[in-house]
Structure 1
Amino acid sequence: MEKVDILGVEFDYVTQQEILNILHQKIERNKKAFVVTANPEIVMHANKDPQYMNTLHFANHIIADGIGIIIGSKIIRQPLPERVAGFDLMVELLNIANQEGLRVFFLGAKEQTLEQMIPKIKREYPKLVIAGYHHGFFKGHEHTIVQMVKEAKADLVFVALGFPKQEEWIQKNIDSFEKGIFMGIGGSFDILAGTAKRAPVFWRKLNIEWLHRLIQQPSRWRRMLALPIFVKKIFQHKRKNSR
């Protein structure tokens, strides 16, 4: 598969439908896959943390979850085809799971969030099998969680621990499982539960979903600084390589 290297992180050159087809085929063949949905914040963190960069290199698929990544790819003149939002990809995978009766495990978020989310999943995706779920606060009980996921024999494992924890957990434990698509999905459980709202479609089409998040959570402003720093670093890297 063609890749686009952005500051050392190799992104899949794919559309949402293409990566969905690839993952669907892996599910049908009982293959494993580690999927990272990466935005500029993740790329910048990887550039500061060699261990986390190694974790990303371990992934099978890294998709461009963030308009900043698309901008970066255009700056280096290797434009990625489109943004692939992690939440959208997760929902499409849930639709496939519902159609085919696949087994799904949900790991992460707060216990209260799961208590609201699981009944909604059962209503909206009645034919998928909830193979198990557990909140994200399990420090000291890692082995128990791994055993729980292993016994679930899930086709899809969504890990909502926030980065870098979710990717590190997947890398550390994926060899313990026989099959499954393992995907870090950040705060997506909150949206599924209804405790957080996603930006309206109009905002998403304009690629300003980040602004909607900032309005909802002004405390995120420090995290948003990663985008201009990321763009600056892309230009610096480009100039350095063009000499």
Structure 2
Amino acid sequence: MKVNILGAPVDRVDMEGALHFVEKAITENKPKHIITLNAEIIYQAQSETELMEIINQADLVTPDGAGVVWASKELGNPVPERVTGIDLLQEIAKKANATGWRLFFFGAAPGVAAEAAEKLKESYSNINIVGTHHGFIKTQADEDQLLQQISEAKPHILLVALGAPRQEYWIKKHKEKLGIPVNIGVGGSFDVISGRIDRAPKWMQKVQLEWLYRLIKEPTRFKRMLALPKFMGLVKKSTKKS
């Protein structure tokens, strides 16, 4: 089941359901695109047709963010819980440690993906991270080399940390050519896992105030955060129409 939020279909899925989807995709061995969607990207997609098309064409769209959870309740079709990019990545790492799934980390600043991989290896001794690469791709030659590296590594899961929606555009462009079963955009997850950026305390995550913690830590996010009240206004307006 899905909930339609301003034209963006969000799966009413919990973490267990998302992991089941990942497992099934690996078994089927056909490229799938998972988007962890927040209110900011839904709002951006209102004026960006191609982005909305990518969201609609994704194979799984999880509710990432307090705004999406709120909107689903407001629309009378609540999602069971948040399934964020970083939480999904961490659960995949735990599962991969037991199953042997091959992971590839692409994105973030030079060194960060490799640091995140090393941190996970400290927690999961059997995890198989078959490659890492930073997100600073400047030329076509750089991209060709990256694609070759990913193809040769043959991962089951490609985790792309370029920030939304850039990572969604990148996955859409290369998904079929690479043929990787699971492709997921994970935003700033590598920065957090590597230890370069602190995540909000657990209590703030539980009461869905992680956005506030990030704003306090990164005041430059203020302009981006203005999308949230605009998003809420559009959702309110859509409920009146229906």
Quickly name the TM-score band, shorter chain normalised: over 0.9
Unaligned runs of 5+ in 2: none
Q: 2 CA distance for matches of 1:33 and 1:94?
A: 18
Alignment of 1:11-30 (within 5 A): 11-30=10-29
TM-score, structure 2 normalization: 0.94
The amino acid of 1:166's aligned partner reads: Q
Q: 1 CA distance for matches of 2:190 and 2:162?
A: 10
SS in 1 for 2:135: coil
Could you say which residue in structure 2 is the equivalent of 1:168? 169
Deviation at 1:200, TM superposition (A): 1.1
Deviation at 1:157, TM superposition (A): 0.6
Could you say which residue in structure 2 is the equivalent of 1:153? 154
The amino acid of 2:11's aligned partner reads: D
Corresponding residue pairs, total: 240
Q: 1 CA distance for matches of 2:136 and 2:44?
A: 23
Deviation at 1:115, TM superposition (A): 4.2
Alpha carbon RMSD of aligned pairs, Å?
1.3
Alignment of 1:41-190 (within 5 A): 41-140=40-139, 141-190=142-191
Q: 1 CA distance for matches of 2:202 and 2:13?
A: 22
The amino acid of 1:186's aligned partner reads: G
Percent pairwise identity: 39
SS in 2 for 1:210: helix
Structure 1 stretch displaced more, 174-183 or 61-70: 174-183
Deviation at 1:176, TM superposition (A): 1.0
SS in 1 for 2:78: coil
Q: 1 CA distance for matches of 2:118 and 2:14?
A: 31
TM-score, structure 1 normalization: 0.94
Q: 1 CA distance for matches of 2:198 and 2:165?
A: 23
- Is the aligned partner of 1:235 residue 2:232? no
Q: Deviations over 1:165-198 (max 9, x none)?
A: 1000100111012332100000000011000111
Q: Deviations over 1:73-92 (max 9, x none)?
A: 11111111211122111100
Deviation at 1:29, TM superposition (A): 3.4
Deviation at 1:130, TM superposition (A): 1.7
Unaligned runs of 5+ in 1: none
